[in-house]
Structure 1
Amino acid sequence: MFTGLVQGLGTLQSIDSDKLRITCLPPSSELIMLDLALGDSVAVDGVCLTVVDILSQGFIAVASPETRDRSTLGSGAQYVNLETSLKVGSKLGGHFVTGHVDGTGTLKSAVQTATSWEMIFNTASAQVARYILSKGSIAVNGISLTVADCNPEGSCFMAAVIPLTYAETNLQYLVPGSLVNLEGDILGKYVEKFLRLGAASPEDLGWDSQVPRSLENMTSTFLAEHGYL
């Protein structure tokens, strides 16, 4: 689990069909390497990878063919965003990011304003678009961003990126057409599933027949009768 608050940049090099060499760049390399251990999870451009070897200024990670196909890791990105996994008790300044990207998108435009960079992204993936909504959270290359606006389908959205985030992540290197990894808010995915299951009959799901058939029937009276209040 990650927060979407990038700790530094690195470079990526493919060294085998399933292995990647990630070199951490200063000045944040010490932060990434501080207590890195074999088996640790690191978000590389928003993709959760497992450390299988530790180098003096970086690490080797395994990326399956599916991971490469679903993300930008197979496209030879020059700079990648890095974040080590969330530790118990750490501050959660972004939002919960799993590192399991839903798909990719492209940068449409980036315009600098007096207070931010207004960046517009497109995605052709319905799996991504379904979780994008105005004022919701989205991870772009592992960066926790807030959707400022989007079209009804969610296939085009805009995020206002503060100068600090822009300058310290690989957003600064993107040009129109650049591919990015996208991960929707995991909370929205669970809500969607609960609503979908709520529309099905308890018998179809193998549940007790007393389970309410919709969220509207999940009343305080029902909860009290079944020992939840």
Structure 2
Amino acid sequence: MTSRLFSLIPCAGTGSRSGAPMPKQYQTIAGRPMLAYTLAAFDACSEFSQTLVVLAPDDNHFDARRFAGLRFAVERCGGASRQASVYNGLVALAKFGAREDDWVLVHDAARPGITPELIRKLVAELRDDAVGGILALPVADTLKRVAPNMPDVPTDDVRVARTESRDGLWQAQTPQMFRLGMLREAIERARHDGHDLTDEASAIEWLGHSPKLVQGSLRNFKVTYPEDFALAGAMLSAGA
């Protein structure tokens, strides 16, 4: 039986670094909620059996009327971390007929620059792969490491401890595409070992596999900080 395609959008985060008054996935960018761009990109790919949006159980900001006309389902099964939300979403996909050997593409709601072309490129590259993989970009910038006691969020006095080599480094994006059964097992193993991993590829690596890297796009960046909203808005308004 041919493996089918499902997409999973974890949408239970609060987006605390964005400075937004509500979860950033609902913030308006270029006239639409950020989440709408992701849903529209997957909706344009008719080959997907289902797109599932995972919300926090107490999410009071989601309004289905803002996404009218787009194909998706909602489950309020989000967890305390991305890893927990993805795992719960994988379990919930069984309600929609997803099997262990079906492909699931997990995508960040905060990457509104995703396009149907990028989604189809990833699927074409990985459909016959034994492991799966992710969209990613080679690191182009010089990397600086700060001292261990320095915060991750910039302040008035963050200083460089040393420069790190960027050789062989890629910046992970989403979607990340893996078999549902393999990904669920990988997350279960990571949780058993006490690790809360930040992306799906890390969980697959935890099982000892090597996900494939597929060239992504700069437009598929993650909206994280306050200034990112204006950049995303300009890009989406221009149809870049």
> TM-score normalised by the shorter chain: which range applies?
under 0.3
What's the TM-score once normalised by structure 1's chain length? 0.27
Higher relative contact order structure (alpha carbons within 8 Å, sequence separation ≥ 6)? 2
Larger Rg belongs to: 1
What's the TM-score once normalised by structure 2's chain length? 0.26
